[in-house]
Amino acid sequence: MNDIIKQYVIEKEPYYRPVADEVELYEATYAVRMPMMLKGPTGCGKTRFVEHMAWKLNKPLITVACNEDMTASDLVGRFLLDASGTRWQDGPLAIAARHGAICYLDEVVEARQDTTVVIHPLTDARRVLPLEKKGELIQAHPDFQLVISYNPGYQSLMKDLKQSTKQRFGALDFNYPNHEIETEIVTHETGVSGEVASKLVSIAERARNLKGHGLDEGISTRMLIYAGSLIATGVNPHAACRVALVRPITDDPDMRDALDAAVTTFF
Amino acid sequence: MNDIIKQYVIEKEPYYRPVADEVELYEATYAVRMPMMLKGPTGCGKTRFVEHMAWKLNKPLITVACNEDMTASDLVGRFLLDASGTRWQDGPLAIAARHGAICYLDEVVEARQDTTVVIHPLTDARRVLPLEKKGELIQAHPDFQLVISYNPGYQSLMKDLKQSTKQRFGALDFNYPNHEIETEIVTHETGVSGEVASKLVSIAERARNLKGHGLDEGISTRMLIYAGSLIATGVNPHAACRVALVRPITDDPDMRDALDAAVTTFF
Amino acid sequence: MNDIIKQYVIEKEPYYRPVADEVELYEATYAVRMPMMLKGPTGCGKTRFVEHMAWKLNKPLITVACNEDMTASDLVGRFLLDASGTRWQDGPLAIAARHGAICYLDEVVEARQDTTVVIHPLTDARRVLPLEKKGELIQAHPDFQLVISYNPGYQSLMKDLKQSTKQRFGALDFNYPNHEIETEIVTHETGVSGEVASKLVSIAERARNLKGHGLDEGISTRMLIYAGSLIATGVNPHAACRVALVRPITDDPDMRDALDAAVTTFF
Amino acid sequence: MNDIIKQYVIEKEPYYRPVADEVELYEATYAVRMPMMLKGPTGCGKTRFVEHMAWKLNKPLITVACNEDMTASDLVGRFLLDASGTRWQDGPLAIAARHGAICYLDEVVEARQDTTVVIHPLTDARRVLPLEKKGELIQAHPDFQLVISYNPGYQSLMKDLKQSTKQRFGALDFNYPNHEIETEIVTHETGVSGEVASKLVSIAERARNLKGHGLDEGISTRMLIYAGSLIATGVNPHAACRVALVRPITDDPDMRDALDAAVTTFF
Amino acid sequence: MNDIIKQYVIEKEPYYRPVADEVELYEATYAVRMPMMLKGPTGCGKTRFVEHMAWKLNKPLITVACNEDMTASDLVGRFLLDASGTRWQDGPLAIAARHGAICYLDEVVEARQDTTVVIHPLTDARRVLPLEKKGELIQAHPDFQLVISYNPGYQSLMKDLKQSTKQRFGALDFNYPNHEIETEIVTHETGVSGEVASKLVSIAERARNLKGHGLDEGISTRMLIYAGSLIATGVNPHAACRVALVRPITDDPDMRDALDAAVTTFF
Amino acid sequence: MNDIIKQYVIEKEPYYRPVADEVELYEATYAVRMPMMLKGPTGCGKTRFVEHMAWKLNKPLITVACNEDMTASDLVGRFLLDASGTRWQDGPLAIAARHGAICYLDEVVEARQDTTVVIHPLTDARRVLPLEKKGELIQAHPDFQLVISYNPGYQSLMKDLKQSTKQRFGALDFNYPNHEIETEIVTHETGVSGEVASKLVSIAERARNLKGHGLDEGISTRMLIYAGSLIATGVNPHAACRVALVRPITDDPDMRDALDAAVTTFF
């Protein structure tokens, strides 16, 4: 394993609490190198899951946060000017394909079409990545696997994956964990007591019920960990919840009152 | 045959199961070097067919996945900066025309107009490719043939091939194969038993009937091969179908129930 | 005549079958170097006509397929980086103006406005081409003539030539030839018998009557030549017509039935 | 006068037939170096007028055909890469301002706003051109004058000169000349007899009456000169008018009939 | 004061006729280096005022005509390629901030948002200009002041300064001066008699009453100076007003008649 | 601490008058390096607050004014051409992450999506910044914190932070301070008497009541400081308020009358 790829190896086990058979299923899909799509809402643990699996499978992980201004070149690579002319620089997808990493394209639906089309030849029997600008055809390393994430709630008429892209992936669903598991996660990640963590989870559950009734998204597990961290440093739970849970997600005075009331109920 | 073009020669026969006279007709069109358009839905075998034909005709095959951000330069070539100034680099279409490969432009309708117009002079009696930026006129190699793919279901008012482009191509229709042939393909490609393969095909047929009634596209042959591969590694057929057939193509709870029910019916 | 321009000389007489006085009229317009506009539908022979005239007048012909992503620089030229700094490279229009070729801009309406405005100074009494980026004013060679093609059926509110551009050109109308002439052309170009060619023309005439009643464009002469070529290699006429005439121009089942019926009527 | 500017001097008197006091008025505006706007329809002689005046005043004339893809750099200049680094190249407006030419921006309304704003400092008391990229402020040469053309018929809500631009120019109106003068012009420019020229003018007058009733623009003086030139080479007047006057400006069968009838009336 | 900045010093007093306390108020705002916004219609003297104040305060003045294609780099600076690599070139705003000039951004509302946001750090207590591409933070010279102009009549829903920009500036209103003062200005600038100048002002006043009743803008002081200049060279006042006042601002026959009548009334 | 980062250290305590527990809460969020979002209207003190906190925590502060034309490269860095080829230059976000500064992205909602997505990996447990173009993964310095500002009043359907971005930040609300505190601030910053400052605050309070009833925004604290500064240099309070408070925020005659009346009431 060379220097470029070594920096993507995950040394320490990332904490991940399985909720069903997702770990075993993922291992099977990796065994046949099936391209995978992780579906689920913001902040429910998709990124952590793929980090955990990369660590478990002992493969380097290259993560790319997709966005609408990203071009195919940002994934595949480009020529850079050098003292002795131009020099090719592999992009993250080319590095992963060439050296055998898991390549994780986060929120791939945000990317422009050329980004999503460029991955097609890596997702069928050929498993190749054409570097058209360089005139090279990378035959993917046997360890390479492609994983993308996808938030179904974000789909719109303007921005969705093409069917011809979706059909190239197996899919796993993710959601917020149940009360007990989420409490366990918050406790583990912040150091607050199980009682405090359970209260935070209860507040989040109230907020998630408001999704679609004034809130665009509920409170995520990640936000609970932020609130717990503040409480663990000694901040008053009311202030901690205000800063970490309520103020970030809404500016509507009624919604803020409803959420503040939920905080007061539990603390 | 030089080094650039040799990497595009297909060494091993790609598995393709003919369904009618498409192999013979294609050979005739190649004999007169007629530009060809392969029409059909996602994942029904167009790419595999052209790979098979390239192997059978013993010609190199250069495949380009088209997309809306692709420019004419991505096909034709560009000047790159070098230690001694600029150096011309042929694009994939120019390589194919110059050295006599079959050039396959996949999903050409996704490309911008300049990409489709640039192929015009290669599709009439002239068979030339003007490299306007280089001031060179490539006379196509006698072995060169142009092939494009086209999914009629994707046509929209905004994005369709111009009539003046369509008229430059002969056309072959493709569709999903019939039950027996598709079962044979799944068995061949995954190693599952004929019985399991037949059940997978039956599930796909149910899903294809839902196309236009809640599903944008049916389940493709490629997806059946994914599901079969998981089953072959020991994954429970229910889980395998959920991951490979159902979750990727729909997030609608009713459609998911309908498809899950179809899985339960057969397994 | 230097090396750059010599590659654009047409050595062999391109086959063209005149239908009226278009050859003589064109010669008169060339005599006064009037810029010309060739109007007519796709595939009716405009490109072949200008090739024939260039051969007859013994002038080099530079053809440019216009498209909406083409810039003025693609026509006029640009600076390229060289070992010793930048070097100017004439574009096809500048080559034609400087060395005295006929410059044929095919489907000029597809081009962006800057492409069409850049030709203005070449179309009035001045006959100059300003290379603004180079600071040079090319006085057109006495042999230079500008020819553009234009398909009136493509006109739309969004995309049409400006009146101030149209007024700078004389115009000749083109259409599909009559039955006898078109039969003669198909026979000459494919080697099939007059009887087969006549049947192909009859099928095309039926299709042309459907234009505007379910077909965007009829079957062109070029498509008949494709079908004839397949038949000449031994392909069954039904299959040849399906591949070369019917499948390329429509995906509508009713239209396909109507056209297939026309094929069966004649073969 | 240096080499760059010498190529813009007009050696031979361009033929121009005055219709009113426009020559004297223009000389007065040049005497006070007032920026001028020439208003009028396509092909009525604005370009020829400014060429004539430049010749009469013995000043070099730099003409720029404006278009919507033209940038401020196309007018002002840019840095070019050279063997020894970058080198500044004056654009046509900078050349004119620095060396004292008349700069004629044809159809300036087609240009993007940055082109029109860049001329502002040259049109008020300062008479300067800031080369912002170079960090230089050109003080205009005493002989420099700015002239723009403008076709009021093209004005639209989307594309018009800003009032703050219009107010910086004096204006002269142009239109097609009256019958006698236009006949004189056609005779002078083509060599046909006065009788033939008069007939051509009569046809044009009919067409101009159809403007707004099916024709976007009438037949211009320039088109009459085209028709006359063909007749002078021996082409039949009917054919000459068809090619040079009727076919270029309309594809509407009724309008073509009306115009062909006008041709038949006079020839 | 170095060479770059010296060319922006105004040597000769620019003529400016104060109409109220604007000179004293501006001096107070300069004393506290308050960023200033000059509001008023086209051609009423905003540019001349800031030139006069720069001369009075003995500070260099850098004027930038803003436009919608101007980028932040056009203001701030950019890297240029040099024989020895890249070299930073300050833009006009950076030159002004570094060397202590008054920087006048004319019609700033025309610029894209990045241009207006780039000036924010120069308009609050920090008075800094971050050159992000260079990694440098310019602390503004004590003499530096930022001035922008703004024509309230041009405001539209699409294009207006953001409130967060407006709030960073003090503002002074400008308008056309009253009859006596404007007459004095026209006399001073053109050399015509007070009687002629007064007549020109009366014509302008009539036109200004038509603003919003068929005219987009009235006749500005600058236009009166144009007309006066022509009269001073001996041009007939009717012709001079036609060329300099009426033809530039309207193509509507009724408005032209109304304005021509006003000219006839006074001359 | 190296030279690049030292220029961002704030030497002198920036004046900030706390209004509640915001200083303590911010210190707690910095202790756990929670990414923070400061919410509130224009000119209410968000920028000053973060400057004060950076000084108090003794950390360098890198401020970036976001805008819609800013690209991810403007934040992350880019390759520059050098005498010896290309050289990587860290952008402000990369400098902050590498060297341990607080990075403050002002008005982040103005930026394009790629700018907001690029900060995601810095806001979760990974705390990394991928320099994809350079192939480097910056592990954030332990001192690094990310802070963004957000004006809820500017939210629109077209331009809002994505929920997946908002959820990555804790949030603090800001607003204009109460009468006594704002008076104290104006006195401190301008040197006017408490009586004059109190009058200015009263005028601002009137204007803030008009927000949404003819005014888009009220008068900010920053504007009061401008007015106070003019008064402190001896300008008449009426004129100072006109220039600094009324003219900048409205061109509507009725609103100007209402605000002028408020000025007259208090002075």
Task: Judge: A65–F118 Cβ closer than 8 Å, yes or no.
Answer: yes
Instruction: Please tell me the predicted confidence (pLDDT) of residue B157.
Output: 47
Task: Judge: F132–A229 Cβ closer than 8 Å, yes or no.
Answer: no
- Mean pLDDT is highest, among D148-157, E146-155, F223-232, for F223-232
pLDDT in tens, C244-257: 999 998 888 889 99
Query: Which of E118, E132, E163 is closest, CB to CB, to F216?
Result: E163
Alpha carbon of C70: minimum distance to chain B alpha carbons (Å): 7
Instruction: Please tell me the predicted confidence (pLDDT) of residue B18.
Output: 93
Q: How many CB atoms lie within 10 A of CB A164?
A: 21
Alpha carbon of E15: minimum distance to chain D alpha carbons (Å): 11
Residue B199 has which token pair? 């059940």
Task: Judge: C152–D251 Cβ closer than 8 Å, yes or no.
Answer: yes
Interface pTM, i.e. ipTM: 0.83
Q: How many CB atoms lie within 10 A of CB A215?
A: 19
Residue B64 pLDDT more than 80? yes
What spatial distance separates the first Cα and last Cα of chain E, rounded to whole Å? 51
Chain E residues touching residue D163 (CB < 8 angstroms)? 42, 216-217, 249
Same domain, C11 and C118: yes
Average predicted confidence (pLDDT) for chain C: 88
Same domain, A86 and A188: no
Judged by DSSP in three states, D133 sits in coil
Task: Judge: F222–E152 Cβ closer than 8 Å, yes or no.
Answer: no
Judged by DSSP in three states, D147 sits in strand
Q: If 0-12 CB within 10 Å is exposed, 13-18 middle and 19+ buried, where does residue F46 land?
A: buried
DSSP assignments along D11-54, one per residue: -SPPP----SSHHHHHHHHHHTT--EEEE--TTSSHHHHHHHHH
Residue E157 pLDDT more than 50? no
Question: Count of CB contacts below 8 A, B vs C?
Answer: 116
Instruction: Please tell me the predicted confidence (pLDDT) of residue D13.
Output: 94
User: Of D125-134, E80-89, E198-207, which range is least confident?
Assistant: E80-89
Average predicted confidence (pLDDT) for chain B: 88
Instruction: Please tell me the predicted confidence (pLDDT) of residue C157.
Output: 47
Chain F residues touching residue A80 (CB < 8 angstroms)? 79, 86
Give the confidence band of D84 by pLDDT, cuts at 50, 70, 90.
low
Query: Which of D107, D233, D248 is closest, CB to CB, to C166?
Result: D248
Give the confidence band of E153 by pLDDT, cuts at 50, 70, 90.
low
Contacts of residue E23, Cβ cutoff 8 Å, sequence gap at least 6: E52, E53, E56
Task: Judge: B85–C89 Cβ closer than 8 Å, yes or no.
Answer: no
**Structural domain ending residue among the three candidates A139, A173, A207:** A173
Decide: D and C in contact? Rule: 3+ Cβ pairs under 8 Å: yes
pLDDT in tens, A257-266: 999 999 999 9
Task: Judge: D133–E74 Cβ closer than 8 Å, yes or no.
Answer: yes
| Rounded (5°) CA angle B208-B214-B215 | 45
- Mean pLDDT is highest, among A57-61, C39-43, F252-256, for A57-61
DSSP F96: H
Measured distance CA(C145)–CA(A133) in Å, rounded: 37
For E14-33, what is the HEC assignment?
CCCCCCCCHHHHHHHHHHCC
- Contacting D with CB below 8 Å, chain C residues are 21, 25, 28-29, 31-32, 34, 37, 39, 71-72, 79, 81, 84-86, 112-114, 116-118, 120-121, 124-125, 130, 132-133, 135, 137, 152, 155, 163-164, 166-173
Task: Judge: B69–A173 Cβ closer than 8 Å, yes or no.
Answer: no
Residue A69 has which token pair? 């201004």
Chain A residues touching residue F21 (CB < 8 angstroms)? 239
Residue D221 has which token pair? 């003086």
Residues shown for chain D = 267
Phi first, then psi, for residue E90 (nearest 5°) are -60, 140
Helix A221-232 vs helix A194-209: crossing angle, to nearest 10: 140
Task: Judge: D8–C34 Cβ closer than 8 Å, yes or no.
Answer: no
Same domain, D38 and D160: yes
Same domain, A164 and A184: no
Edge-to-edge strand list for the sheet holding B145-150 = B61-65, B102-106, B145-150, B36-39, B170-173
Contacting partners of chain F (3+ CB pairs under 8 A): A, E
Q: If 0-12 CB within 10 Å is exposed, 13-18 middle and 19+ buried, where does residue E142 land?
A: exposed
Half-sphere exposure of F145 (CA within 13 A, CB side): 26
- Is-contact A109 A159, C-beta < 8 A? yes
Chain B residues touching residue A37 (CB < 8 angstroms)? 247-248
Chain F residues touching residue A229 (CB < 8 angstroms)? 32, 34
Contacts of residue B32, Cβ cutoff 8 Å, sequence gap at least 6: C226, C229, C230, C232, C233
Residue from F7, F49, F52, F67 whose CB has the most chain E CBs within 10 Å, to mutate: F67
Measured distance CA(F101)–CA(F115) in Å, rounded: 19
Same domain, E158 and E199: no
Judged by DSSP in three states, F14 sits in coil
Average predicted confidence (pLDDT) for chain A: 88
Residue D76 pLDDT more than 70? yes
Chain D residues touching residue E71 (CB < 8 angstroms)? none
Same domain, B185 and B109: no
pLDDT in tens, E70-104: 778 888 988 776 656 677 889 999 999 999 999 99
Alpha carbon of B236: minimum distance to chain A alpha carbons (Å): 10
Query: Which of A85, A135, A155 is closest, CB to CB, to B81?
Result: A85
DSSP assignments along B198-220, one per residue: HHHHHHHHHHHHTBTTTBSS---
Which residue of chain A is at minimal alpha-carbon distance from F163?
A: A217
Helix E253-266 vs helix E194-209: crossing angle, to nearest 10: 150
Residue with tokens 């933070």: E137
User: Domain of F18?
Assistant: 3-173
| Rounded (5°) CA angle E125-E127-E130 | 130
Same domain, F248 and F197: yes
Chain A residues touching residue B106 (CB < 8 angstroms)? 120
Q: Could you tell me which residue, D186 or D111, shows the higher pLDDT? A: D186
| Mean pLDDT in residue range F121-133 | 86
Question: Count of CB contacts below 8 A, E vs F?
Answer: 116
Q: Which residue from C17, C94, C15, C19 is spatially nearest to C55, judged by alpha carbons?
A: C15
Alpha carbon of C194: minimum distance to chain D alpha carbons (Å): 34
**Structural domain ending residue among the three candidates D131, D158, D173:** D173
Instruction: Please tell me the predicted confidence (pLDDT) of residue F157.
Output: 46
Measured distance CA(A266)–CA(B206) in Å, rounded: 50
Same domain, C65 and C138: yes
Which stretch of DSSP H or E encloses residue D105? Answer: strand D102-106
Residue B263 has which token pair? 């899985």
Q: How many CB atoms lie within 10 A of CB A152?
A: 14
Task: Judge: F248–E21 Cβ closer than 8 Å, yes or no.
Answer: no
Contacts of residue F211, Cβ cutoff 8 Å, sequence gap at least 6: F217, F218
Contacts of residue D58, Cβ cutoff 8 Å, sequence gap at least 6: D9
Query: Which of B67, B219, B243 is closest, CB to CB, to A172?
Result: B243
Query: Which of D31, D32, D37 is closest, CB to CB, to E248?
Result: D37
pLDDT in tens, C86-145: 778 899 999 999 999 999 998 888 777 667 778 888 998 889 998 877 878 899 999 999
Query: Which of B74, B82, B232 is closest, CB to CB, to A86?
Result: B82
Residue D157 pLDDT more than 50? no
Same domain, F84 and F164: yes
The percentage of chain D sitting over the pLDDT mark of 90, rounded to a whole number, equals 60
Give the confidence band of F125 by pLDDT, cuts at 50, 70, 90.
confident
Residue B196 pLDDT more than 50? yes
Give the confidence band of A72 by pLDDT, cuts at 50, 70, 90.
confident
Helix A22-31 vs helix A46-57: crossing angle, to nearest 10: 60
Task: Judge: C163–D244 Cβ closer than 8 Å, yes or no.
Answer: no
Residue F146 pLDDT more than 90? yes
Instruction: Please tell me the predicted confidence (pLDDT) of residue B73.
Output: 82
Chain B residues touching residue C91 (CB < 8 angstroms)? 132
Q: Could you tell me which residue, F52 or D108, shows the higher pLDDT? A: F52
Identity of the residue numbered A43: G
Query: Which of C86, C132, C167 is closest, CB to CB, to D222?
Result: C167
The total domain count for chain C is 2
Give the confidence band of C84 by pLDDT, cuts at 50, 70, 90.
low
- Is-contact C141 C99, C-beta < 8 A? yes
Measured distance CA(C74)–CA(B117) in Å, rounded: 14
Instruction: Please tell me the predicted confidence (pLDDT) of residue D158.
Output: 52
Measured distance CA(E141)–CA(E138) in Å, rounded: 9
Which residue of chain D is at minimal alpha-carbon distance from E240?
A: D25
pTM: 0.78
Residue with tokens 């990317």: A111
Task: Judge: F92–E166 Cβ closer than 8 Å, yes or no.
Answer: no
- Is-contact D96 D55, C-beta < 8 A? no
Instruction: Please tell me the predicted confidence (pLDDT) of residue C85.
Output: 64
Which residue of chain E is at minimal alpha-carbon distance from F216?
A: E163
Measured distance CA(A63)–CA(A36) in Å, rounded: 14
Which stretch of DSSP H or E encloses residue C171? Answer: strand C170-173
Average predicted confidence (pLDDT) for chain D: 88
Give the confidence band of E196 by pLDDT, cuts at 50, 70, 90.
very high
Query: Which of E69, E78, E216 is closest, CB to CB, to D71?
Result: E69
DSSP E88: E
Strands E145-150 and E36-39: parallel
Measured distance CA(A119)–CA(A128) in Å, rounded: 9
Q: If 0-12 CB within 10 Å is exposed, 13-18 middle and 19+ buried, where does residue D208 land?
A: middle
Task: Judge: C43–B164 Cβ closer than 8 Å, yes or no.
Answer: yes
| Mean pLDDT in residue range F42-62 | 93
Query: Which of B28, B137, B167 is closest, CB to CB, to C222?
Result: B167
Task: Judge: A171–B110 Cβ closer than 8 Å, yes or no.
Answer: no
pLDDT in tens, B167-190: 899 999 999 999 999 999 999 999
Phi first, then psi, for residue D87 (nearest 5°) are -135, 135
Q: Classify the phi-psi angles of F38: left when phi > 0, otherwise alpha if psi is within -120 to 50, otherwise beta.
A: beta
Q: In sequence order, what are the beta bridge partners of B105?
A: B64, B148
Residue A23 has which token pair? 């770990």
Task: Judge: B25–C107 Cβ closer than 8 Å, yes or no.
Answer: no
- Is-contact B130 C63, C-beta < 8 A? yes
Chain B residues touching residue A112 (CB < 8 angstroms)? 68-69
Measured distance CA(D178)–CA(C152) in Å, rounded: 33
**Structural domain ending residue among the three candidates C138, C154, C173:** C173
Q: Classify the phi-psi angles of C57: left when phi > 0, otherwise alpha if psi is within -120 to 50, otherwise beta.
A: alpha
| Mean pLDDT in residue range D187-213 | 93
Task: Judge: D47–C124 Cβ closer than 8 Å, yes or no.
Answer: yes
Same domain, F255 and F159: no
| Mean pLDDT in residue range B21-40 | 94
Same domain, A189 and A100: no
Which residue of chain C is at minimal alpha-carbon distance from B169?
A: C248
- Is-contact D126 D119, C-beta < 8 A? no
Same domain, D154 and D184: no
Return the CATH number at C155: 3.40.50.300
Question: Count of CB contacts below 8 A, A vs B?
Answer: 117
Measured distance CA(C106)–CA(F21) in Å, rounded: 72
Q: If 0-12 CB within 10 Å is exposed, 13-18 middle and 19+ buried, where does residue D53 land?
A: buried
Decide: C and E in contact? Rule: 3+ Cβ pairs under 8 Å: no
Q: Which residue from C266, C98, D40 is spatially nearest to B135, judged by alpha carbons?
A: C98
Radius of gyration of chain C (CA): 21
Residue A153 pLDDT more than 80? no
| Mean pLDDT in residue range F123-144 | 88
Residue D245 has which token pair? 């006057």
Decide: D and B in contact? Rule: 3+ Cβ pairs under 8 Å: no
Task: Judge: B34–C230 Cβ closer than 8 Å, yes or no.
Answer: yes
Measured distance CA(C191)–CA(C229) in Å, rounded: 8
